[in-house]
Amino acid sequence: MSDADVELPESIELAWGLRERPGKGPRRSLTMEQVVAAGIRVAEGDGLPAVSMSRVAGELGVATMSLYRYVSAKSDLLELMADTAYGDPPAPRGPDEGWRPALARWALANVTAIHRHPWIRQVPVSGPPMGPNGVRWMEAGLAALRGTALRGTERLSAILLVSGYARYWATLTADMTEAAAREQLSPEDVGMRYWQQLARLTRHGPYPAIRELLAEGAEGGDDEEFEAEWRFGLDRILDGVETLIRSRAAAD
């Protein structure tokens, strides 16, 4: 099958620079980059729910229908906005860097990208990456595992697992930060209040495991504890990947 036989959404062709001008119809007055940048401005200023085709068209000073020459639906626009906002992937794995620190660095870069643009976490994931940046991030993640004994599909599954954890963690911490800001409290204060409330609710009744946890001094919310929680979860995932790598190497 030749490249010409592989169908791509028009918005993806435009984002990759594979389609510079329309075959029919009036000349385009905008670029895909301008349309996506306008959508990002709205999301950054007023949140993702404020993004609509009419609002973005208003930002650009054009008729709403003209945007459909670049994206066929709002969902396409949101995906391209998220792809652009993610930006460049982290530096590739160095010649003396092991796969594990490289993949951990890639995971943290995912969290940082979402924290930089928190609205990204509200964009539904409709499928594998197709935008230019998303594909470059996938390449960087796969490259971190190059040279291990993992098969290609296993490398892909590993980075999907790691990126899923990173997205979960970025969403959790961003949600908690926003909730604390609404109450005009620090995340540390919110965490402390939760443990105090939980202690009161479970003082009596069938909650021996929770009371045992509280008795050990569970409290929370500061940056060091958040970092420790992030590392604990990531390390357990990487432990599993390492076990699989060793088993594949032993089988070979």
Mind listing the pLDDT tens digit for each residue in 78-106? 999 999 999 999 999 999 999 999 999 99
Residues 181-198 have a mean pLDDT of 87
Task: Compute the average pLDDT of residues 231-250.
Answer: 95
232: which 2 tokens? 């604990």
Hey, how many other C-beta atoms are within 10 angstroms of the C-beta on 34? 14
Tell me which DSSP letter residue 61 carries: T
Segment 25-45 mean pLDDT: 87
Look up residue 34 and give its two tokens. 């301008």
Enumerate residues 6+ apart whose C-beta is below 8 A from 242.
100
Instruction: Pick the range with the lowest mean pLDDT from 21-25, 27-31, 80-84, 91-95.
Output: 21-25
Contact 210, 198 (CB under 8 A): yes
Judge whether 131 and 12 are in contact, CB under 8 Å: yes
**26 phi and psi angles, rounded to 5 deg:** -65, 155
Choice among 1-15, 35-49, 108-122 with the minimum mean pLDDT: 1-15
Roughly how many angstroms between the first and final C-alpha of the chain, as a whole number?
34
pTM of this structure: 0.89
User: What is the C-alpha separation between 70 and 53, in angstroms, rounded?
Assistant: 11
- Average pLDDT for residues 44-68, to the nearest whole number? 96
pLDDT grade for 118, boundaries at 50, 70 and 90: very high
pLDDT of residue 23: 47
| CA dihedral of 194, 207, 204, 186, whole degrees rounded to 10 | 0
